Amino acid sequence: MTSGDSIAAAVDRLAHAQATRVPCAPVRDLIGTDDLPAAYAVQQGLVGARLAVGARVVGRKIGATSEAVQRQLGVDQPDFGYLLSDMDVSHGADGAPVSMGTLLQPRVEGEVAFELARDLAPEHEDEITLDLVRAAVGVALPALEIVDSRIADWDIGFTDTVADNASSGLFVVGRDGRSLEEIEPREVAMSLSINEEERSSGTGAACLGDPLEALRWLAVQAYRFGDPLRAGHLILSGALGPFVPFAPGDRVVATISGFAPLSVQFEE
């Protein structure tokens, strides 16, 4: 079992990297390579520090849901992190430039997001079915997740990315919501371009077979952690294709079938 001192040291290492924008060494030397409770404890420490200075939890993100991203990260299972109010740069969907000033080594990916209209907090875990999850979704939305790593050169194992709030950075959610009567998430096609050049593509089926299945997986994990998903939460369900690097000055456009294109301009 990882000691409290080691967990605290991992929190400090990642927090210092974020504060200085200088990537750090992996934290697996402190928490090991397979101690998931310790990795999520580090994540909670980082999130708690941001909540203490005014950030709010606005939802969750699911990471490593596609085989393409799992290969990129060198992991073999999904994970989750928290979406905080200070990560939300959805003003970018309205045409305002998005600053990269807090980012270290960003990558971008296209996703389907869900806004929950109902809590996913049943009495028993086995009640968290695909039907229950579908009924809890208010609308589906197009999204760009800007993933980032505090760890130098993205040299991460599974506990590293979990500890680092699932390698989170920023997110942009479009205004073009659709009900699940209007769109079937597993059937969407996604194309992501940078400066009019396609750099990534995929389908809804690449996300654990169905973005709603990814949401069901997350609802089970959140239930087990004693922090269930709630009405009003935004959920980023996971990448539909490989993530790609970008730079200040780039315009990124995610075209996800059934939604209006989501276009964002980035600046330093």
What percent of the chain is modeled with pLDDT above 70? 97
The tokens describing 248, both together, are 């200040």
What is the DSSP code (8-state) at residue 90?
G
Strand order of the β-sheet with 262-267 is 98-99, 262-267, 251-256, 189-194, 197-203
pLDDT digits (tens, 9 = 90+) for 69-86: 677 667 677 899 999 999
pLDDT digits (tens, 9 = 90+) for 21-67: 999 999 999 999 999 999 999 999 999 999 999 999 999 999 877 77
Instruction: Please check whether residue 159 is in contact with residue 185, taking contact to mean a CB–CB distance below 8 angstroms.
Output: no
pLDDT digits (tens, 9 = 90+) for 173-210: 999 899 999 999 999 999 999 999 999 999 999 898 99
pLDDT digits (tens, 9 = 90+) for 109-139: 999 999 999 999 999 999 999 999 999 999 9
- Other Cβ atoms less than 10 A from the Cβ of 255: the count is 18
- Decide: helix, strand or coil at residue 174: coil
pLDDT of amino acid 249: 96
Name residue, tokens 């992190």.
81
pTM: 0.94
pLDDT of amino acid 87: 97
Map out the domains of the chain as residue ranges.
4-267
pLDDT of amino acid 268: 82
**Which CATH homologous superfamily contains domain 4-267?**
Fumarylacetoacetase-like, C-terminal domain (3.90.850.10)
pLDDT digits (tens, 9 = 90+) for 88-100: 999 999 999 999 9
- Decide: helix, strand or coil at residue 240: coil
Cα 264 versus chain centre, distance: 18
The tokens describing 37, both together, are 């409770």
Q: What is the mean pLDDT of residues 152-158?
A: 94
Instruction: Please check whether residue 67 is in contact with residue 77, taking contact to mean a CB–CB distance below 8 angstroms.
Output: no
pLDDT digits (tens, 9 = 90+) for 208-258: 899 999 999 999 999 999 999 999 999 999 999 999 999 999 999 999 999
